[in-house]
Amino acid sequence: MSNRLQHLAIIMDGNGRWAQLKNKPRTFGHVKGARVAKKMITHASDLGIKYLTLYAFSTENWLRPQDEVGFLMRLLERYLIKETENLIQKNIRFTIIGDLNRLPTGVQKQVQNSIEKTSKCTGLQVCFAISYGSRQEITRAIQKIADLVHAGKISANEITEDLVKKNLMTGDIPDPDLILRTSGESRLSNFLMWQAAYSELVFSKVLWPDFTTQDFDDCCKDFYSRNRRFGKIDAELSF
């Protein structure tokens, strides 16, 4: 059974607490968090990981104070303006999941621009989950499938797990092998809930702005020590 780390997904948590511990505004933590994201993208690419999904902004994050939301949006836009050429140099393809329409127009344009410019890159595929929520994603998939049934294109008993998967925002990309969350919290927070069915989960106590490539490697080591059975039993135990 496969223990290859092909798809890693990260809940980058703890920016606010990190800043508060330093008596700085929360936004200071987000700036450091973005630098760490950049470092981890490069590291994942160097390690030959094929897919890296980063939870950058959830549907619930819209409920944060407006100035923090605005700051995160500008940070994202600036990050993409600055980094797109680097991504191309490293053969990294940029994609997103989430409700792009809710983002400010400038951010939407930059996101589209980075997606297009990196679309031919064949190395790591880095996917930012922005304005993303798993419940919203599953609800939309149900709506799209219901439309197909309503239009008489398929019948209800032709709805398969594969059809549901294809209608999720992650489309054809493989499910995450490992979901990592930093900052000591142990929950998924509406992230990739369908896709996480057989993901290994690792919870690191390190706050995201302090997360290092060594921490990254330790989490990968933890993953490789796991015995993934996907609900089956080991071949040598099957008597």
Binding site for ligand FPP (CB under 6 A): 12-17, 30, 33-34, 37, 56-57, 61, 75-76, 79, 183, 208
Does 162 qualify as catalytic in the annotation? no
Q: Which of 15, 23, 61, 217 is catalytic?
A: 61
Q: What is d(CA 203, CA 181) in angstroms, rounded to the nearest whole number?
A: 5
**Minimum distance from CB of 181 to ligand FPP (Å)?**
10
Residue carrying structure tokens 């054809």: 172
Does 172 qualify as catalytic in the annotation? no
**Minimum distance from CB of 149 to ligand FPP (Å)?**
37
Q: Which of 13, 175, 177, 215 is catalytic?
A: 13
Residue whose C-alpha is closest to residue 57's, from 90, 30, 84:
30
SS3 state at 234? coil
Of residues 208 and 223, the one with the C-beta less far from ligand FPP = 208
**Minimum distance from CB of 61 to ligand FPP (Å)?**
5
Q: What is d(CA 117, CA 91) in angstroms, rounded to the nearest whole number?
A: 11
Residue whose C-alpha is closest to residue 45's, from 216, 218, 222:
216
**Minimum distance from CB of 6 to ligand FPP (Å)?**
22
Of residues 191 and 208, the one with the C-beta less far from ligand FPP = 208
Q: What is d(CA 141, CA 207) in angstroms, rounded to the nearest whole number?
A: 33
Torsion angle in degrees (nearest 10) through CA of 203, 208, 214, 217: 40
What's the count of helices (H) and strands (E) in the chain, helices before strands? 7, 6
Of residues 79 and 223, the one with the C-beta less far from ligand FPP = 79
CB-based closest residue to ligand FPP = 16
Are 172 and 166 in contact by the 8 Å Cβ rule? The answer is yes
Q: What is d(CA 167, CA 140) in angstroms, rounded to the nearest whole number?
A: 8
Of residues 63 and 233, the one with the C-beta less far from ligand FPP = 63
**Minimum distance from CB of 39 to ligand FPP (Å)?**
11
Of residues 69 and 163, the one with the C-beta less far from ligand FPP = 69
Positions marked catalytic = 13, 61
